[in-house]
Structures are given as C-alpha cells and as structure tokens.
Amino acid sequence: MRRNAIVAVAIGLAAIAVPLIITSEFYVNLASQVLIYALLAVSLNLLLGYGGMVSLGHGSFVGLASYAAVLLLNAGYGQLPSATLAILFSTACGGLFGLLALRASGIGFLMITLALGQIVWGIAYRANTITGGDNGLRYATRPHPFGIDIDGAASFYWFTLIVFAVALFFIWRVTRSPFGASLQGARDQPRRMRMLGHNVWLIQWVAFVLASFWGSVAGLLYVYYNLFISPHAISLQQSAEVLLMAILGGASTLTGPIVGAVIITLVKNVVSTYFERWNSLLGAIFVVVILFMPFGIVPGVRQLWHRWRAPKKLERAA
Amino acid sequence: MQFWIIQTLNSIAFGGLLFLLSSGFSLAFGLMRIPNLAHGGFFMLGAYLGATIIYYGGHFWVAVLGAGLGVGVVGIAFERLILRRLAGNVQGQVLVTLGISFIIADLCLLIWTGDPWTVPAPAELRPPLRVAGFAFPTFRLVVLAIALVTAVALYFLMDRTRLGAMIRAGVDDMEMARGVGIPVSLLFTVVFCLGAVLAGLGGTLGAPMLNAYPGLDTDMLPLALIVVILGGAGSLLGAFVGSFVVGFLYNFGIALFPDLAYFILFLPMVLVLVFMPQGLFGRVQT
C-alpha cells in the first residue's frame, strides 16, 4: 500500500512537470487531450468496470455539456453560470437516460445507450437552426477561473490536470466506499444483493448519474480545449474509442482506463499523421484486444509482475 | 392531399426497406443473443456493391442479387472466423461486431471514396403509376411489394418449415434446443448469413432512394436498433410492425419537422421501454 502511494505521488509529480520538461506546445496540448480522454474513460469505467454495464453512449455527455455551454454563453450568460448550468443539464439528461437504459440489463442496456447516443448525435447533426449542424459551433473564449489566464497551452494543461486529479480522487473514493462495494455486488450477484435488501436498480442508476456527471465535466473541458463543438465529437466512433480505452487498459482497475487513454490518444495522433486509415486501425485494435487481451493491459501486467515476484517469495519462505 | 398521399406511400416504402434491414438483425439477435452492430455496415456494403455492379453495366436486379450474395459471403466469413471464436462471451462478441463495422465503413470509404454514389431506379420502373388522378412512384411500390413478399416468405420459413421450428426453438430456449439435438451453432451461421443477405439486398434496393454514401451505416443502424427495441428481439411480427412504425415516424418527421426527426423517433422508444421493456412482441428478455 505504501509503495502504491509512493508510485502515485511520483506519477502525479511527473504529470505536473510535463509542461516544464516538454516545451513544445504541440505535445503539451496532446497531454491535455490525453487527460480529457482519460477523464472520460475513467468516468465510463465506473459503469463498465465497477457496474458491469457496457454503455455505447458515453460520448453523448460530451456533446450535451459542450452544446449547452456554447448555447448558454451565446445567450449572454457568464462563464461560470453557463458551465454550471451545462453540467447540470447534461447530468439531468444522464439521469433520464439512466432511467431508460436501466429498463434493460446486459445487451439491452448496451443497445439503448447506443440508440440514445445516436439520437443525441442526430439532433446535433440535424437541428441546424440550433446546433449549426455539421458546421458545429464555436465557443467564444476560455474562462478565467479565479482570474487566472488559461489560454496558454501549459496553463490549460495544469487546469485540466487539477480537474482530472479532483475527479480521479472522487472516483477512487467512490469505488472504495460502501457504495462502490454495493455497485460491484450489484454487478456480480444482483439477485443476492436484492435478497440482502439493497436496491440494485437505484445503485446502478446512481452510478449512471455519477458517470454522466464526470463525463459532462470532461465534455466541458473538451469544449474549453477545442473552443469548438461539432457532431463529429459525439459520433458512435467517439463513444466506442472511449470504451476501447477502458477495455484496452483494463476495465477492472481504476488506472487501466488512464493507460488506455494514453495509448489510444497517442497512437491516434501519431498514426493520423502518417496513415489515413485510423478507423480501420481502430476497428482492428478492437478485434485484436477482444480476441487476445480481453482483460486489458493493466491486469495483464500485474499478473506478469506477480508471476515474476511469486517464485522469489517462495524461495524466501523456503 | 397529394403531399399526404405521397408521404404516406414513402413512409410505407421506407418501412418495407427497414423491414429488410431489421428482420435479419432481429432474428440473429434473438438466436445469438447479440445485436450485430455491423449490420448497418452490411447494408451500406450492399448499397456500394449494387452501385458498382450497375456502374459496370449490370442490370438493377442482377445488382440486387449480387449485393445480397456478396454481403452474405462476408457475413458467413465474419460469423465463422471471428464471432465463433468468442462463443459464450456475449460482451466480446458485441464489441467485435462494432470493431468490424468500423473496418467495413473505412474500407468502403477507401474503395468507393467519400462522394455519394447515386443509383438510378431501373428504367422500366421510373415512370410514375397514375391511379385516379394521383401519381405514385412505381419503384417505391415495387420495393414495398418485395418487402411484403419477403415478410410472407420469412413467415413461412419460420412458422411452417422444420428449419424455422428449429430457429424458434433456439430463440425460445437455447439450452433445451441443444439438448434435444438441434444443431444450434449451425443455425447461428444460417441465420446470421440470412440477415446479411437481406441487409445486402436492402442496401441495393434502397440505393435509388437513399444513395450509397459514407455514413449510411450509422444512419441505418440506430433505425434497426429502434425497430428491435420497439418490436422485441427475435420476433418477425415485431420487426414488421416496428419497421412500419419507425418508417412513418421517420419519414413524416423529416418532412414536417426536419430539425426534430431524430427526436420523434425517441418517443415511441421511451414509451415502449417504460411500459413493455421486452418490446411489443418480444420473445426473449434482452
């Protein structure tokens, strides 16, 4: 446990130091992107890994929060009210989507989240008069939280890092809380949990709302980063990419989705400069990961680590 | 008046097209317990294959058959080579179909470029049919007729043949069906292939109305999903009723409230989920 804490602090310090070591604006911006996607993947993983619910509509919260923030800002609200209202609106939609999707479980849940995500995409794409259709909408300017300017690449990275750290801490606490335990119980033994007097439906719904809340926060960061939102950001492919990040890294762990987000975002950015067929590669990674690495990288590496450690322990015992 | 009649007819024809798309999807879902998220990709692949056959001088009906066969072969290969390896891992199977749908979409973009391919309706069906002073688009009537014939044929296949009885047994209780010696895993391939063939046929049949363009797959897949959520997985009648309900809502939605067409689709889905989570005619709990 103490070693884990040391590792966490070391990684945290390294994350803070990123803009100091890498001076190229391009890579600092890439790091901000990684953090935004990592937040999205970690929030999705609350459903996927801890709740056992595969959602293919998580990208819709990026869209709901971003579009709401842009429209509110354009309607003359200030930065803080529009951010707050956007997240409230998006989370409320999450509550509604949860009500619908949790009418089914397993594959039914997946299909309903997919349909809901596509409907949000369809509205963004078709409702030209409100959302600008395919052209998208511009977000006028980044906010200045507490008067601090976050227009630069490094300062925006630190801003994102703070939000990410708060979110990660919160989600970590949730997974370690009695609620987290009952969420995992509801995943593994829903009937037993029901018999023990837990309201499985409510547990799962609350998890859905929490995931949509942090997904909305990631969406707000997304629109602050890009200063632009278009239907492309909430397509099925985006939701699937986030899902792939969580599965690739290892959905049963807290850190897995972060690892997945780092890998997928880097691969995507590096590959896209040399190779036009990112979607084919994404599909191929999907197929390969599911066929050959169903538990993801982090649990796989941990297994190797334990296998490497185990013989030594035996020697010591002997 | 003419507007309402034409829109009604268009809705019915679109519903027929949706039935071709979603009946195979629904049957495979009922039997294999997974939605094939590459089904929209199969539809788009069918549209492109048909457009290509016509481009190289093939007749429209040859193109329809060729697209059906081509997509059917892709379906068999996919089921045998990939889905089969994940038997029992439902979540993995669904995600693999999603991965495959990305690959199909991207390869289509690579081969047929980003420009839409228009497919003319066959020449003999282009002049409108005039009845009682109203002009009806002949081609759409023919598509509707094909969908109805397919529906009747599928009904006989499912309800009157030994194969159909085995499929229904597999949908209702797979373990029991296996127990009494029904080759359920062979049925998987048959039904999956049948669904792929229907999607391929539908793709080319729909091409004169919809064109073949990148994104056709993600436009059609949610419609098939909503049909199945409405009608219930594994039910032919459900797919039939659901297709026409969605066809009407979508078509009138686009004609009357273009901004809200997708939102209107959302309403029946909400109502069905709230009151009948199994779908209107659902055979299996999804």
Closest CA to A198 of A213, A181, A210: A181
Closest chain A residue to B99, measured at CA = A283
pLDDT band at A316 (very low <50, low <70, confident <90, very high): low
pLDDT band at A318 (very low <50, low <70, confident <90, very high): very low
| Range A56-70 average pLDDT | 92
pLDDT tens digits, one per residue of A180-195: 999 999 998 989 999 9
pLDDT band at B194 (very low <50, low <70, confident <90, very high): very high
Dist. CA A126–CA B258, nearest whole Å: 7
Dist. CA B169–CA B165, nearest whole Å: 6
Q: Which chain A residues contact residue B107 at CB under 8 A?
A: 280
Higher pLDDT, A61 or B264: A61
Closest chain A residue to B90, measured at CA = A107
Which letter does DSSP use for residue B117 in this model?
B
Residue A317 has pLDDT above 70, yes or no: no
Residue B285 has pLDDT above 80, yes or no: no
Higher pLDDT, B2 or A117: A117
| Range A141-162 average pLDDT | 84
Of A16-25, B9-18, B263-272, highest mean pLDDT: B9-18
Interchain pair A283, B34: CB under 8 A: no
pLDDT band at A315 (very low <50, low <70, confident <90, very high): low
Residue B276 has pLDDT above 60, yes or no: yes
For chain A, domain boundaries: 22-234
| Optimal mutation site among A93, A111, A252, interface B, most CBs of chain B within 10 A | A111
Average pLDDT in chain B? 86
Of A33-37, A133-137, B7-11, B216-220, highest mean pLDDT: A33-37
| Range B143-161 average pLDDT | 91
Closest CA to A160 of A111, A99, A110, A225: A225
DSSP per residue over B34-62, as a string? S--TTHHHHHHHHHHHHHHHHHTT--HHH
pLDDT at A38: 94
Neighbouring residues of A302: CB distance < 8 A, sequence distance ≥ 6:
A253
Q: How high is the ipTM of this complex?
A: 0.78
Of A236, A283, A290, the CB nearest to B92: A290
pLDDT at B77: 93
Dist. CA B33–CA B27, nearest whole Å: 9
Residue B286 has pLDDT above 50, yes or no: no
Of B105, B263, B277, the CB nearest to A119: B263
Residue A62 has pLDDT above 90, yes or no: yes
Cα-flanking dihedrals φ and ψ of residue B135, to 5°? -100, 125
Neighbouring residues of A98: CB distance < 8 A, sequence distance ≥ 6:
A204, A205, A208, A209, A212
Closest chain A residue to B103, measured at CA = A280
Dist. CA A73–CA A293, nearest whole Å: 44
Q: Return the percentage of chain B with pLDDT > 70, whole number.
A: 97
| Range A23-46 average pLDDT | 90
Dist. CA A84–CA A65, nearest whole Å: 10
Q: Check CB contact of B247 with chain A, cutoff 8 Å.
A: no
Q: What does the block give as tokens for A18?
A: 């990123």
pLDDT at B2: 75
Q: Is A51 helix (H, G, I), strand (E, B) or coil?
A: coil
pLDDT at B68: 94
Of the candidate ranges A102-106, A177-181, B249-253, the one whose mean pLDDT is the lowest: A102-106
| Range A110-137 average pLDDT | 84
Cβ-based contacts under 8 A for chains A and B = 125
Dist. CA A66–CA A219, nearest whole Å: 6
Report strand pairing: B129-131 vs A137-138.
unpaired
Q: What does the block give as tokens for B114?
A: 């980003």
| Optimal mutation site among A238, A280, A285, A293, interface B, most CBs of chain B within 10 A | A280
| Optimal mutation site among A54, A118, A243, interface B, most CBs of chain B within 10 A | A118
Dist. CA B245–CA B12, nearest whole Å: 9
pLDDT tens digits, one per residue of B99-112: 899 899 999 999 99
pLDDT tens digits, one per residue of B225-261: 889 888 887 788 889 999 999 999 888 888 888 777 7
Average pLDDT in chain A? 87
pLDDT at A184: 92
Q: Is pTM, for the whole model, over 0.90?
A: no
| Range B187-212 average pLDDT | 91
Residue B31 has pLDDT above 70, yes or no: yes
* Whole-number CA gyration radius for chain B: 18
Q: Which chain A residues contact residue B263 at CB under 8 A?
A: 119, 122-123
Q: Return the percentage of chain A with pLDDT > 70, whole number.
A: 97
Q: Is B132 helix (H, G, I), strand (E, B) or coil?
A: coil
For chain B, domain boundaries: 21-214
Question: Angle at Cα B209 formed by Cα B208 and Cα B212, nearest 5°?
Answer: 65
10 Å Cβ neighbour count for B194? 19
Q: Which chain B residues contact residue A116 at CB under 8 A?
A: 266
Given its phi and psi angles, is residue A24 left (phi above 0), alpha (psi -120 to 50 degrees) or beta? beta
Q: What does the block give as tokens for B202?
A: 């539908």
Structural contact between residues A144 and A150, judged by C-beta atoms closer than 8 angstroms:
yes
Q: Return the percentage of chain A with pLDDT > 90, whole number.
A: 37
pLDDT band at B200 (very low <50, low <70, confident <90, very high): very high
Of A108, A126, A236, the CB nearest to B218: A236
pLDDT at A127: 79
pLDDT band at A314 (very low <50, low <70, confident <90, very high): low
pLDDT tens digits, one per residue of A37-53: 999 999 999 999 898 89
| Optimal mutation site among A93, A245, A290, interface B, most CBs of chain B within 10 A | A290
Q: What are the residue ranges of helices labelled H in chain A?
A: 2-21, 25-45, 59-74, 79-101, 107-126, 128-131, 153-176, 178-188, 190-195, 200-226, 236-249, 256-274, 278-292, 297-317
Q: What does the block give as tokens for A294?
A: 């169903």
Residue A221 has pLDDT above 90, yes or no: yes
DSSP per residue over B155-184, as a string? HHHHHHSHHHHHHHHHHH-HHHHHHTT--H
Q: Which chain A residues contact residue B35 at CB under 8 A?
A: 107, 110-111
Cα–Cα distance list, B278 to A102, A250, A260, B53, B175 (Å): 13, 32, 35, 41, 21
pLDDT at A222: 93
Of B34, B102, B266, the CB nearest to A119: B266
